[in-house]
Structure 1
């Protein structure tokens, strides 16, 4: 699959290269630009793919790689040249060329010195005014991009904070109502309020920082309340800015492009923080948060906006994109738009749909990979380096957005639908390719759909827009949380319905925006044309920096990632564990992966099964904390059933190479869908099978019976040594217990441990060394269960267990559990139940 993809990318890259080389911008400006963008977008996956598939120890390849380094340097000059031209263009936007008849005399006098030389208009100790204007434009652009990043940070954190409460209540908590804060912009139907918020937008951006400062609140409910208030102010401020700029086409387009660049920056920052956002309310200094720095930068950016708005002259209103542009005033044009050919509800549906699309699937560069992941060896793309390709696709879409006729054309819409369909119905690489097309399309139509809503009455348009977004968010959750919400079963495991509805809504918006694309032709000579050109130039520069930053971050993460290696290779031993981690949110609503890393490292776990692990949804913040654990500690990762499979997730971390794996959706006719990973690992040269599974709830006994029966079948039919790490929901010595261990031909790690209900460890064909239970330390509400094993040369001799125990002094030092967890332990982690590890002969 990957080889075919690389071939297609190579052909597309070659053809597009010919497109911009042989078709100049003078011949066909649009074709030239599109082919160059396609070429640049294809270059990154082509280069990374060639490196990935090249033999690392091939002498011939090593010989020519020095030229590769030089080639990267040489071709990077193109990027520098484009960036320089884009910035230089800003200097010339204020120039005017005048043709003057000087036959009758000089058109103007040039001051000269007494020696006859012309004097410099600007003294040497002064800076050129054009250069100052460029710096001011750049400063303003960067400030607003950062404020857009803050908006996306608060938007993507709101549902994550809301999720904490039903997670602990195991049902509707009431805090879900905070989702409706997003409809706050409907108050912009009050015209004086809208004008005040737009005029003093910098002040309101400062007020919105209460959402970023919410990390100071230790109480989860207060933190959620502050975040919701901040988001409500922020989204209302952005909408007020757009609606008051609707009579100034250039300013409106500039603001929308900045908003899109803010999403790109959000993706880059999350890549640098292993899919967390350093200014989220679940972050603080202890787990890698930069909240204070984020607030300071936001205050500085807001002050810049305030000062610039005070000192800048008010723009002269011009007709916007309405068909009534010949009306005597902007307000009459807007009114005509709302009642003319354009439809307010189609505009609202379109932008509400694309906002959901960008939030659900493209607020993290690895989201579409986790929606489409499959079992080994056809696992699909890894977040590093392929997250760069995701960001490049979004960037390309934003750059293409200026071509309204293209982005609102029916053929282009069909391409977007095909990409969405491939993303929905395929898996691994093919689904990822579809996701890239889907992301490119969503980002490219966003500006047109955003502009469309501004030409209609704010109250009903914005209310419908954000209610559309909210309903899609709820539907997105109901597909997996159907057991806990009213009406949930109707959307059970039906993400394809949600995405079909999404594309229909976006289609409504595109049909509506296409009319405005036609009206664009009437306004080529706008008063604010220089603002449009400036905004697009700065967006191209910002896009370049975004891609370069993502490449550097990906390279740094690849270089710094720890190579997986077992803790005790000399003894041929490994420690396996099962742990339910509640979506990496601790008991106090802080991101918990740093604390998880510490205890996993100290327990020297070689194979870890983590349950309730799928956090690639809106309600979990589109996070993939496993990237952090894998790179920081050195693990191979099997993400488990993809997000598109509608489970709560089970994940495998392994110090040993994963030879193959299969993702199971266990029988669940009544309750929530149960998941399992069946993986074969290369453990010191011997294939050993592992299962990581999470059975259904206590309320669904028939589901649990069917699920346990299926797990037993998988284990019984495998010829390899086996370790079971699962969440079973039964007491020892009950019928399901015997189904699992007896029918599965497995041994319970300690049948005398009667104090178990959820988590169990089983094994066969290995020498069992020890067993320990470690308290959770408030990272979650579930303990860590661990077992130590040794690989043996004759697995059949160890198919059945001996339960004779030995004292720790009889165990080799390299096979013992760490002593730091004895007594009071560390950071709330200690050996409990038995208060010490148990050791066995085998």
Structure 2
């Protein structure tokens, strides 16, 4: 019979800490139980990986233990199911412990806790053998959510010294363990180091134990709780009393307390998101101008006249006209809306029309952005918001390129067929503008402070020029500085994936530092640190060079709010005109160092990237000097710089929310794009190598569309195991800061060597290989007059046989002495090899004449794949030695580039053979070229010159 009073009878009382202990016990039982059962029943199977087994690898990883075999998988799943109940209660109790009226962070952390629990169930019950993609999605979501959960629990931890101490211990150990675990995973996955996976497994298990242990600390907090179960009749009674939280009050002068103390508002979050998207649009349009211009000098083989449109960014000069400036400021929303022209440009078919649309959009975008900053000069809160949105927009643009393998999906060189998301970008622009119009019925010019700025405006302008150039040339793509420090195999430094996410993380850290510590960011000490970073990334390779890159990244993002806030104090017309004019000068400067052979006065700056970097830092120093003039000597700043008022703090929090979401997205992209390195050649049983050479014209096709997908389709259909790519270095502003090898390597399943980086001043040479690249070295060949000639010398493991592969781009026809010296260099380099060798090259010579006889000679030992082929073969050649050549074909390019694809087939471990041609029916099927390209072929690709492949006895 139920009780007669409303409070009911107490049926049971459960101490709160019991919830934590049950959760901890069930979680540890799931993992350790599976480990014990797995070792007992399937020890040698669960320590086996794709490279090594027992006894080289002798301890199993977490994933192989819990997901591969029965019954250990069942043990894990049963105990994780038991763990789920206490887990949800644990999240709820922690929310009750930390929540208080008007507080946002506890709700966010609770939501993350529930999300983690659900995603844990996802990767637990959908194993990698069931559905690898969904398992990975759940896993990466869980790992990414661990970051805000851990940081949120630390921020909300009640004032209990014991709990705080252990949370710090577990969190510090967890994040510290991530670094060596990633290192040994890469050693196993990329370098195939014996035993590395066992060491990685220990770190992986440590992460599991530390993760569960971190949540076990709640037992200390929950000792003040009792879970009371009552038997009642009718509606339950009881207040919503919340446990007091003294932590944020205690730490109100710290960044978390200042920023996240207020309640959460979805409309304000929408405002911040809309502003950031407009910043993303600005950077997407600005970065698309260069690659749109680049199409024209490519086809003119020199200056075309269209290059003048790069000056579209000097449009802020119009703000020097007072009536026009007032009109623009009053109509900022309308002006922002006009920049949609840059997103709509992809609809224009003709390259000239697309360039015109993009250049007009850049003109309007730079004018509008400058006007919006100037309009907010008298309102520090609004100015900070606009600068934050612009800076985070750059990060969003870099993440978009990171996700889409270095192409921005809303660029005018993209469309649906080659991976563009143009319609989505336009739809989001419309939504963002609708939000901006809804909140901003009008704009006012604001009021300028009474204090007149000190010093000349030119100093502030030059600082901005250096900043704009640094952000665009180094940070608009997360892989740029990584290929600067890349120096071939074996890998001794960062790679584009996953370490591009590190660059993006450093960008976020730098921006937060600039917002919270502006007085430190503007110091000469900070400038000195940034300068050292610039010198290191320019001068060194591998990890040391990349540490310099990260240092420079943090500095550039940190100084951005300081330099812009200072520049808006001056007259906008002359200040921002000079800023963008000098920015354009720097853009040309950093192209001229490699394009010196095609422009007047180019040899004066030949190969001087060091001059470019030094000039950039000198320009920034001018801006630092100006900021110090206008702010006085900054005091020693031991704590962060709080926003000026509660409204400003609240506003700042939403931009940080957006930034954190973008960082999580970046980490997710890095995880999902991480290469598998389980690549296989097309015909491994017959031990053949199909190799090709292709000049890809910087991945821009004849109609000004990005051509990576079209190239990938042809390479896949031609069944190429090796391909040398020439004119492949796009890591300059004028080329869009792209890396075509990323898409091709990932989609085709190949190892990639980018070749000499952008700071080596070549047009690029790259190698893609289905076979592991054991070692590679980069060469810059003698070029006393003309452009530098790059070469790659790689050693691959082709069906168990070490084979040398050379990829080489000779100098121009106009420089015969350069080409002679280069031919002698390559003959000597190839002649030193006694292994089977293949040269994939661009030689600029006629068959059998001149320098051809250096490449094909007794000194080099190399033979022409078909010495009888003399027709229109001025550039591309395939040479070989110490292996059997079995076939040769030439495939037409369609409209992808200006050069055909040449391919050859070789047999490993067989003598060279003769030049006798044989019919195809005498050739083993694995040794034949695809029939797809016979006759009319497909998509404009067909065997030509011979109209069919050639086969040799």
Q: Does the TM-score normalized on the shorter chain lie above 0.5?
A: yes
CA distance in 2 between partners of 1:39 and 1:537 (Å):
28
Alignment of 1:83-162 (within 5 A): 134-162=265-293
Whether the aligned pair in 2 keeps the contact of 1:562 and 1:631 (CA below 8 Å) is no
CA distance in 2 between partners of 1:64 and 1:434 (Å):
28
CA distance in 2 between partners of 1:156 and 1:462 (Å):
18
Tell me what 1:322 maps to: none
Post-superposition CA distance 1:415-445 (Å, at most 9, x none): 1010000011111222111111111111110
CA distance in 1 between partners of 2:434 and 2:328 (Å):
15
CA distance in 2 between partners of 1:331 and 1:386 (Å):
43
Tell me what 1:507 maps to: 621
CA distance in 2 between partners of 1:757 and 1:361 (Å):
36
CA distance in 2 between partners of 1:258 and 1:555 (Å):
26
Whether the aligned pair in 2 keeps the contact of 1:394 and 1:443 (CA below 8 Å) is yes
Alignment of 1:476-495 (within 5 A): 476-495=590-609
SS in 2 for 1:166: helix
Unmatched tracts of structure 1, length 5 or more: 1-16, 26-36, 94-129, 318-329
Whether the aligned pair in 2 keeps the contact of 1:817 and 1:837 (CA below 8 Å) is yes
Whether the aligned pair in 2 keeps the contact of 1:408 and 1:517 (CA below 8 Å) is no
SS in 1 for 2:598: coil
Tell me what 1:320 maps to: none
SS in 1 for 2:791: strand
Whether the aligned pair in 2 keeps the contact of 1:405 and 1:518 (CA below 8 Å) is no
Whether the aligned pair in 1 keeps the contact of 2:773 and 2:797 (CA below 8 Å) is yes
Decide which of 541, 544, 550 is 1:427's aligned counterpart: 541
1:72 deviates by 5.3
CA distance in 2 between partners of 1:262 and 1:655 (Å):
37
Alignment of 1:261-410 (within 5 A): 261-310=392-441, 330-331=447-448, 333=450, 336-337=452-453, 341-402=454-515, 403-410=517-524
Post-superposition CA distance 1:709-747 (Å, at most 9, x none): 111111111111110110000111102111110131111
1:379 deviates by 5.0
CA distance in 1 between partners of 2:524 and 2:643 (Å):
31
Whether the aligned pair in 2 keeps the contact of 1:41 and 1:393 (CA below 8 Å) is no
Decide which of 280, 300, 306 is 1:175's aligned counterpart: 306
Tell me what 1:727 maps to: 842
Tell me what 1:645 maps to: 760
Decide which of 719, 727, 730 is 1:615's aligned counterpart: 730
Tell me what 1:779 maps to: 896
SS in 1 for 2:796: strand
Tell me what 1:229 maps to: 360
Decide which of 817, 820, 833 is 2:945's aligned counterpart: 833
Does residue 563 (structure 1) correspond to residue 675 (structure 2)? The answer is: no
**How many aligned residue pairs are there?**
744
Q: Provide closer, same or farther for how the CA distance between residues 780 and 526 of structure 1 changes in structure 2, counting only shifts above 3 A.
A: closer
Decide which of 709, 713, 730 is 2:828's aligned counterpart: 713
TM-score of the pair, normalised by structure 1: 0.84
Tell me what 1:534 maps to: 650
Does residue 448 (structure 1) correspond to residue 537 (structure 2)? The answer is: no
SS in 2 for 1:483: helix
1:63 deviates by 6.2
SS in 1 for 2:440: helix
SS in 2 for 1:187: helix
Tell me what 1:106 maps to: none
CA distance in 1 between partners of 2:172 and 2:523 (Å):
19
Does residue 467 (structure 1) correspond to residue 587 (structure 2)? The answer is: no
CA distance in 1 between partners of 2:770 and 2:643 (Å):
63
CA distance in 1 between partners of 2:656 and 2:308 (Å):
39
Tell me what 2:143 maps to: none
1:536 deviates by 2.8
SS in 2 for 1:568: coil
1:197 deviates by 2.4
Whether the aligned pair in 1 keeps the contact of 2:406 and 2:740 (CA below 8 Å) is yes
Q: Provide closer, same or farther for how the CA distance between residues 579 and 426 of structure 1 changes in structure 2, counting only shifts above 3 A.
A: same
Alignment of 1:5-20 (within 5 A): none
Tell me what 2:95 maps to: none
1:46 deviates by 5.6
Q: Provide closer, same or farther for how the CA distance between residues 60 and 762 of structure 1 changes in structure 2, counting only shifts above 3 A.
A: closer
TM-score of the pair, normalised by structure 2: 0.74
1:487 deviates by 1.2
SS in 2 for 1:817: coil
1:619 deviates by 1.0
Does residue 544 (structure 1) correspond to residue 660 (structure 2)? The answer is: yes
Tell me what 2:864 maps to: 748
1:459 deviates by 1.4
Whether the aligned pair in 1 keeps the contact of 2:795 and 2:805 (CA below 8 Å) is yes
CA RMSD of aligned residues (A): 3.0
Whether the aligned pair in 1 keeps the contact of 2:180 and 2:203 (CA below 8 Å) is no
CA distance in 1 between partners of 2:744 and 2:487 (Å):
20
Tell me what 1:654 maps to: 769
Tell me what 1:3 maps to: none
Tell me what 1:767 maps to: 884
Post-superposition CA distance 1:532-561 (Å, at most 9, x none): 3234322332222122111111111126x5
1:563 deviates by 2.8
1:168 deviates by 0.6
Decide which of 623, 633, 639 is 2:748's aligned counterpart: 633
